[in-house]
Amino acid sequence: MKERLQKIQEDAMRQINEAVNLSVLNDVRVAFLGKKGELTAVLKGMKDVAPEDRPKVGQFVNEARKQIEEALESTKEKLEKAALDKKLKEEVIDVTLPAKRNKIGHRHPNTLVLDEVERIFTGMGYEVVEGPELEYDYYNFEALNIPANHPAKDEQDTFYIDDKILLRTQTSPVQVRVMEKQKPPIRMIAPGRVFRADEVDATHSPSFHQIEGMVIDKNVTFSDLKGTLTMFVQQMFGKDTKVKFRPHHFPFTEPSAEMDISCFKCGGKGCRFCKGEGWIEILGCGMVHPRVLRMSGIDPEEYQGFAFGVGLERISLLKYEIDDMRLLYENDERFLKQF
């Protein structure tokens, strides 16, 4: 048994000394000390050794194991140091080379425009208010003077959850909620995402953003509306921007109008951007309908107000001269990095 153990130890030492890397060294460890290794096989055969010889044989086995483990550990340290020295020699770092530039993100065009709109209106004393995207039919339609048989309530235009709940088609419901909870004077804008059952194309999307604004106070007139919106577009598109109001109809305002601005590319002379007309339609507006005020708990005999609504994407497309609304949603870095 002693001669067998000496033979195992000599073979182990020879293979350890011949190991050229850590992988080979690990194979040697498994071959001699693993569950099916040669030294482990000797230990399993101890049951066949005479009882009086077992202590001496056990001592021989332990000494052999100790010698092999020490040799393995010593060789492992040498091989690890050699591998590290080789890696350091091969992976030379040239500190004179320029560093890699980190790519820093930035705000989306819609966010840039929204921040600018909020800055303009908060500068005029307006409050920015948000509301739920999942809205009651009452706030989205009825409280805005849109009766049950109105075409705007057709399911082809609106995403209904059930008979009473829907995805809001405008942010005007936020105005109703504010009027119910707050006494005039009120000056607010309500930016947010809205939903309509539109086909996706260059100018339409089933999900987009609107900014609704409203002022409720005593002695508010249409002239106040015109002055407010004129100041807004001149700060947004340039001080030389002119405005034009055209009669229109909205259920929740009376009188109502659509507002055009002079083309800021050609100054109103006519170009490709304004399709040769010199004017660009920008938003809808009007005086808050007395019925809307009354339904929200405000006396129309004492208070008047105006409201307006503009598409955030509409401003983005105009301000940055983008010809396809879909570009704002596709997250193409080649497009977004221009802003």
Task: Taking the CA atoms of 99, 339, 190 and 324 in sequence, report the sign of the dihedral they define.
Answer: negative
Are residues 272 and 301 in contact, defined by beta-carbon separation less than 8 angstroms? no
* Maximum CA extent, the chain: 117
Q: CA angle at residue 200 from 197 to 203, to 5 degrees?
A: 105
Beta carbons within 8 Å of 231's beta carbon, 6+ residues apart: 120, 124
Q: What secondary structure does DSSP assign to 42-78, as a single string?
A: HHHGGGGS-GGGHHHHHHHHHHHHHHHHHHHHHHHHH
User: d(Cα 172, Cα 157) in Å, to the nearest integer?
Assistant: 16
- Tens-digit pLDDT profile for the chain (339 aa)? 667 777 777 887 888 888 888 888 888 888 877 777 777 777 666 666 666 666 776 777 777 778 888 888 888 888 888 888 888 888 877 788 888 888 888 889 999 999 999 999 999 999 999 999 999 999 999 999 988 887 767 656 888 999 899 999 999 999 999 999 999 999 999 999 999 888 888 878 889 999 999 999 999 999 999 999 999 999 998 888 899 999 999 999 999 999 999 887 777 777 777 777 889 889 999 999 999 999 999 999 999 999 999 999 989 988 888 888 899 988 888 888 888
User: d(Cα 33, Cα 17) in Å, to the nearest integer?
Assistant: 16
- DSSP β-bridge partners for residue 258: 246, 284
Beta carbons within 8 Å of 236's beta carbon, 6+ residues apart: 116, 117, 120, 315, 319
Instruction: Return the SS3 of 37.
Output: coil
Homologous superfamily in CATH for domain 109-336: Bira Bifunctional Protein; Domain 2 (3.30.930.10)
Give the relative orientation of helices 54-90 and 2-18 as an angle to the nearest 10 degrees. Answer: 0
How many CB atoms are closer than 10 A to CB 93? Answer: 7
Q: Kind of pairing, strands 127-128 and 186-195?
A: parallel
Q: Where are the domains of the chain?
A: 2-90, 109-336
